[in-house]
A and B are shown apart, each in its own frame.
Chain A
Amino acid sequence: MAHDTTAKSEFLPKDSPAPAARPGLLWRPTAKTGLMSWLTTVDHKKIGFLYGVFALFFFLVGGVEALLIRAQLMFPNGDVLTAQQYNTMFTMHGTTMIFLAVMPLSAAFFNFIMPLQIGARDVAFPRLNAFSLWTFVAGAIILNIGWFLPADTHGAPDGGWFGYAPLTSKTFIPKHSIDYWVMGLQLLGVASIAASLNFIVTIINMRAPGMTMMRLPVFTWMTLITAFLLILSFPAITIALVELMMDRQFGTNFFEVSGGGMPILWQHLFWVFGHPEVYILILPAMGIVSEILPTFSRKPLYGYPIVVFSGACIGFLGFAVWSHHMFTTGMGAVATAAFSLLTMCIAVPTGVKMFNWIGTLWGGHLMMRTPMMFALGFLWMFMIGGFSGVMHSAAPADAQQQDSYFVIAHFHYVLIGGSIFALLAGIHYWFPLMFGRKVSEFWGKLSFWIIFIGFNVTFFPMHFLGLNGMPRRTFTYDPNLGWNTGNLVATLGAFMLGIGIAIYFAVMIYTYFKGEKVGRDPWDARTLEWSIPNPPPEYNFRVIPTVHARDAFWYEKHHQEEIAKETAEHAKDDEAHGGIHMPDQSIWPLVASVGLLIVGFGVTYFDSNPAPGIHAKLGTTLAGFAVVLVGIYFWSLEGNAGYHIHVDDKGNVLSDDHAKH
């Protein structure tokens, strides 16, 4: 079609009359402030913000769990925690940090930043986005509910974050803790898959005109790849969890050895999910770093196509290396060799990214602001984590390192030094865009150095501990094995890291309320999200931008006249088509998620045996399903009419038919 591609609503009449107010259950909420506005929001920025708040809350919870673990191990034969409590603590520390902290924090950035980077006004399915958020919250509640219930019959999950069968069977852990883990992860999976489909459709369909795939910012590319990894890997663990649930609830024999089940099957299913999951955690981080380094080096990303391609390559290879988590399970020499070599292959695209990041710095004007400090910290720490990763890929070496503290050192270098450093960098980097305020450089850098030093003091000694034979997941150790110094140092480091994180967040909260106000584009950045005022208006872009180059905003800044003319024309067109089209708020995604929460509670809380429990179980579960159905039914019935906003060329809202509903 040859006509103007910017037209968004050409089927609407020019003077679209406000739709008639709707009765009863099909009422659309319009609150823009207050609790109701948050519960019914479909704005990707508000949803992103909520993801961030929940993620940071659970990040602190997981951090406290980590400090308790370190306190127990500070000295040999410690008795801060009992064996039971310790096992619960490391299970929940891992599960929380992966599923409730790093993943949703990445999702916060996907939601908030990605649509802005591609010049869109929202994600493709705004209500599905709200559903993802609230289902994530439901999953988080189910996962953690065991903390508040009696420990001998319920309790928080204690089978390890990997939940190896048959330890998770009713024979060995009869209490409900494992049921919470199963249902919690199941709901989180629903949330992740819904969100991923939404992001994929958004990135494929809602790019601004001229934003070709090879002009996408790298963070958006990594969002896309991560979303594909999620929808391809989560089905594996969903199946595994369904099987485990059936074993525990209905007496099937998928993993029950006495019934001919195969515990090794769990490991394969879990790691077919679990290894891509590692890249689900790190690829968004790589995306963030690939945005920050060019901005603060004031030059484009070195080797953009190679960085994008290597990201896709890592995602692809990520599905072919799961058994390197199983080198000690007796796979046989050929399988071990194959997975060993494939794992080494992953080092190539990862190394390529590192080279390109250094290439980006080379010849630049490096501005050492806090986000840049964290990004450089990422490069150093991720490099060390990468090297210990290569050491694991050599299967014979791994036979000694597997399940020792060496592995703990390795994956904390890639998950804290990698993912968390990049996410903390991202918070600093986009904070001015999100809230219009800037974090003080002094406090930002101070927290960086404390976190950086604390992190290394905690985890570097763990390499030595592992090589000296200290196994993971052990609540105690004897003083004669040479592990005392390492553990003491690690614990001191952990508390230092804790102080650093506390300062970081105290400063963030202070800045949110009292920080220095900054104008548009404070970093002299390169991508489209910086072209809009901060904090961003609800409609994001007054006029959908037209993209002429990679680093679209940098191009705009250097071709201002051309862009101004273009924008004025497009604004006229937009107005001719009825103004800016916005999605309506809705309560029904929240209702559907609450239904899932009730289902989860019904499946987990009650005993299917003895008999009286079965009625409560069935009743609650069915009631939950009914609520889900009601939510989805009205969600589809209420339709997606939306409303229009008209703004002038300064961005002032002239009229808004939102309130007329």
Chain B
Amino acid sequence: MRLTSFLKTLLRWELAVLLVSGCLTSLAHASDKNFFVMDGHQSTIFVDGSVARSQNTVFYTTCAVTFVIFVLVAGTLAYATIKFKARSAADEHAEPPPQSHGNPLVEIALIAASVFALVIIAIPTLKSIWYTHDVPAEEKAKGNAYEVNAIGYQWWFKFEYPSVQINGAGTLVTANELVIPAGQPVRVNVRTTDVIHSFWVPKLAGKVDMIPNRANYLWLQADKPGYYWGQCAEYCGDSHAVMRFRVIALGPKEFNEWLDGQVAPARSVSSPVAASTAAKPQFASLRKPDSYKTNEAGITTKFDVNPLEAWRAKQFPEKNEDPALVGRGKELFKSKTCQNCHAIRGHGPLGVTAPDLTHFGSRTTLAAGLLENNTEQLHRWIHHPGAVKPGNKMQFGIGGMAGYQKKDDKGHWTQNIALTTDEELALVAYLESLK
């Protein structure tokens, strides 16, 4: 090898190494441990439910079959490319190879082999289609299937428990966090009131679309108690990306306790509306809502360590509750027209167009699974909902109901609901008290 060409080779390697190491350095900053193993919160590979497991088994079958075909076909292709490559100019100008036109027997054999490979995929596919379609008949016969309704709205989820009727208030309703019994089939009837959404909890089951005028359903069964991430999976307008929800699966005893708690009306913090209604100094250290960047994450990594425990902790009243502030928040909830859309059962408000907030304080997330439910994030949300969730109804109203801003006759936006910081904090304190 001549020196110049050796140097050139060296240079080429040098460049390649630089490029690769540059990429690796920038990757190190972003790396999350679970990219290649794919065990994130919404993994379809590491699943915790029988429906998702059946779907995953079919996926693995397709992987196995296509891998074998890949090895054979790609191997042949690579071999042919290397073996029959013209190596020199003389080679290129040699007599053309024999002008052959193909062989019908080879073709037929290859077609037969492809069909055979597809049959291997088709059999588990058909089995799984029927298994995942509805709750198995024997479970149904035993009356084991628990039924809930999931209703999609732009951009949040309402959940109904048709088997739980509350005296004088109809069906039990919650929002954005679906609590289900673990180890038991759950049939989810999916509906929508506006556009098409899709109900997807990857670790428990594949998605089924919520389509207007269509009585769709799916079923799922969580193996064990757990906390699962879900997300709308059909493009549904501006804030589709932040239309999320959670599923919390509980053991039978805990589930029934939870149901009893939900049936009860909203918790009241007994206190007259006190004279001092200014927020306490402990709020002074809170992060200012305007300091958040567009799309800034509203979650902490601490929460991810044991989300189910975090959920359990949320079922108890907050420390440092300030009854006076809560009382003022309760009044503001009515006077600032929140009650036109939201319901808080037992406290008066009975709006139905927005999430039911009766036990809001016991949820781990707010704004449809987007932000962690804590004082700071709730303050951020109430302060300027439009900055958190573009196009949401609280900002601009819905139907005849005006939100924070409304359009006047000339088409200009004007302020409709104005809140001072003290008022915002009073509302926060009130909502957090709703266990």
CB of A365 within 8 A of chain B? yes
Given contacts A298-B97, A347-B114, A383-B73, contact A79 B107 (CB under 8 A): no
Contact present for A164 and B234 (CB under 8 Å): yes
A-B CB pair tally, cutoff 8 Å? 324
The interface stretch among A326-334, A540-548, A584-592 is A326-334
Contact present for B45 and A363 (CB under 8 Å): no
Smallest CB separation, A458 vs chain B (Å): 13
Smallest CB separation, B341 vs chain A (Å): 18
Give the residues in chain B near A489, CB-CB below 8 Å. 27
Give the residues in chain B near A600, CB-CB below 8 Å. none
User: Quick one: which of A366, A461, A464 has the most chain B CB within 10 A?
Assistant: A366
CB of B118 within 8 A of chain A? yes
CB of A367 within 8 A of chain B? yes
CB of A395 within 8 A of chain B? yes
Contact present for B198 and A394 (CB under 8 Å): no
Among residues of B, the one whose C-beta sits closest to the C-beta of A357 is: B77
CB of B6 within 8 A of chain A? no
CB of B2 within 8 A of chain A? no
CB of B196 within 8 A of chain A? yes
Tell me the B87-113 residues at the A interface (CB within 8 Å): 91-92, 94, 96-103, 106-107, 110-111
CB of A480 within 8 A of chain B? yes
Smallest CB separation, A340 vs chain B (Å): 6
| Chain A 236-264 per-residue mask, 1 if CB under 8 angstroms from chain B, else 0 | 00000000000000000000010001111
Smallest CB separation, A452 vs chain B (Å): 14
- How far, in angstroms, from A447 to B206 measured CA to CA in the complex? 40
CB of A29 within 8 A of chain B? no
Contact present for A79 and B73 (CB under 8 Å): no
| Chain B 206-223 per-residue mask, 1 if CB under 8 angstroms from chain A, else 0 | 111101111011000000
CB of B39 within 8 A of chain A? yes
Given contacts A304-B101, A488-B30, contact A400 B196 (CB under 8 A): no
| Chain B 312-356 per-residue mask, 1 if CB under 8 angstroms from chain A, else 0 | 000000000000000000000000000000000000000000000
Report the count of interface residues on B (CB-CB < 8 A). 109
Give the residues in chain B near A332, CB-CB below 8 Å. 133
- How far, in angstroms, from A595 to B81 measured CA to CA in the complex? 53
Contact present for A481 and B229 (CB under 8 Å): yes
Give the residues in chain A near B242, CB-CB below 8 Å. 476
Contact present for B129 and A481 (CB under 8 Å): no
The interface stretch among A81-89, A507-515, A619-627 is A81-89
CB of A379 within 8 A of chain B? yes
Give the residues in chain B near A398, CB-CB below 8 Å. 206
Contact present for B299 and A485 (CB under 8 Å): no
Among residues of B, the one whose C-beta sits closest to the C-beta of A387 is: B66
Interface size class on chain A is 35 or more
Given contacts A348-B114, A348-B115, contact A83 B238 (CB under 8 A): yes
Contact present for A482 and B122 (CB under 8 Å): no
CB of A36 within 8 A of chain B? no
Give the residues in chain B near A506, CB-CB below 8 Å. none
CB of A390 within 8 A of chain B? yes
| Chain B 27-69 per-residue mask, 1 if CB under 8 angstroms from chain A, else 0 | 1001111111011111111000000101110110111011001
Contact present for B234 and A403 (CB under 8 Å): yes
Smallest CB separation, A313 vs chain B (Å): 11
Among residues of A, the one whose C-beta sits closest to the C-beta of B199 is: A328
- How far, in angstroms, from A160 to B237 measured CA to CA in the complex? 9
Smallest CB separation, A269 vs chain B (Å): 15
CB of B85 within 8 A of chain A? yes
The contact of A396 among B66, B86, B132, by CB within 8 Å, is B132
- How far, in angstroms, from A328 to B106 measured CA to CA in the complex? 39
Among residues of B, the one whose C-beta sits closest to the C-beta of A265 is: B213
- How far, in angstroms, from A385 to B256 measured CA to CA in the complex? 48
- How far, in angstroms, from A356 to B108 measured CA to CA in the complex? 12
CB of B259 within 8 A of chain A? no
Among residues of B, the one whose C-beta sits closest to the C-beta of A376 is: B81
The interface stretch among B158-166, B177-185, B277-285, B288-296 is B288-296
CB of A215 within 8 A of chain B? no
Given contacts A337-B126, A482-B35, contact A330 B208 (CB under 8 A): yes
Smallest CB separation, A448 vs chain B (Å): 14
Tell me the B343-391 residues at the A interface (CB within 8 Å): 390-391
Give the residues in chain B near A298, CB-CB below 8 Å. 96-97
Give the residues in chain A near B30, CB-CB below 8 Å. 75, 484-485, 488
The contact of A484 among B32, B52, B118, by CB within 8 Å, is B32
- How far, in angstroms, from A358 to B103 measured CA to CA in the complex? 13
Contact present for B390 and A82 (CB under 8 Å): yes
CB of B153 within 8 A of chain A? no
- How far, in angstroms, from A379 to B304 measured CA to CA in the complex? 44
Contact present for B209 and A482 (CB under 8 Å): no
Contact present for B111 and A396 (CB under 8 Å): no
The contact of A306 among B94, B107, B125, B196, by CB within 8 Å, is B107
Contact present for B84 and A303 (CB under 8 Å): no
CB of B310 within 8 A of chain A? no
Contact present for A352 and B59 (CB under 8 Å): no
Give the residues in chain A near B32, CB-CB below 8 Å. 479, 482-485
Contact present for A474 and B240 (CB under 8 Å): yes
The interface stretch among A4-12, A105-113, A426-434, A465-473 is A465-473
CB of B80 within 8 A of chain A? yes
- How far, in angstroms, from A306 to B241 measured CA to CA in the complex? 46
Contact present for A361 and B80 (CB under 8 Å): yes
Among residues of B, the one whose C-beta sits closest to the C-beta of A75 is: B30
Give the residues in chain B near A160, CB-CB below 8 Å. 235
CB of A642 within 8 A of chain B? no
Smallest CB separation, A94 vs chain B (Å): 11
Give the residues in chain A near B77, CB-CB below 8 Å. 358, 361, 379-380, 383
The contact of A468 among B43, B55, B213, B296, by CB within 8 Å, is B43
User: Quick one: which of B80, B229, B242 has the most chain A CB within 10 A?
Assistant: B80
CB of A19 within 8 A of chain B? no
CB of B70 within 8 A of chain A? yes
Contact present for B213 and A399 (CB under 8 Å): no
CB of A354 within 8 A of chain B? yes
- How far, in angstroms, from A172 to B391 measured CA to CA in the complex? 11
- How far, in angstroms, from A337 to B127 measured CA to CA in the complex? 10
CB of A217 within 8 A of chain B? no
CB of B121 within 8 A of chain A? yes
Additional A-B contact list (8), CB under 8 Å, known A365-B92, A365-B94, A400-B55: A164-B195, A167-B236, A263-B212, A297-B97, A361-B81, A390-B66, A471-B200, A484-B30
Q: List 26 A-B contacts (CB under 8 A).
A: A77-B295, A77-B296, A79-B293, A82-B294, A164-B195, A262-B213, A303-B102, A328-B233, A330-B214, A344-B122, A351-B110, A355-B73, A365-B91, A387-B66, A394-B62, A395-B129, A404-B44, A467-B44, A468-B34, A468-B35, A468-B38, A468-B39, A480-B299, A480-B301, A482-B41, A484-B31
Residues of B within 8 A of A (CB): 23, 26-27, 30-36, 38-45, 52, 54-56, 58-59, 61-63, 65-66, 69-70, 73-74, 76-77, 80-81, 84-86, 91-92, 94, 96-103, 106-107, 110-111, 114-115, 118, 121-122, 124-126, 128-130, 132-133, 154, 194-196, 198, 200, 202, 205-209, 211-214, 216-217, 229, 231-242, 293-297, 299, 301, 304, 390-391
Closest 8 CB pairs of A and B: A469-B42, A399-B206, A482-B40, A474-B241, A303-B102, A330-B216, A396-B128, A482-B34
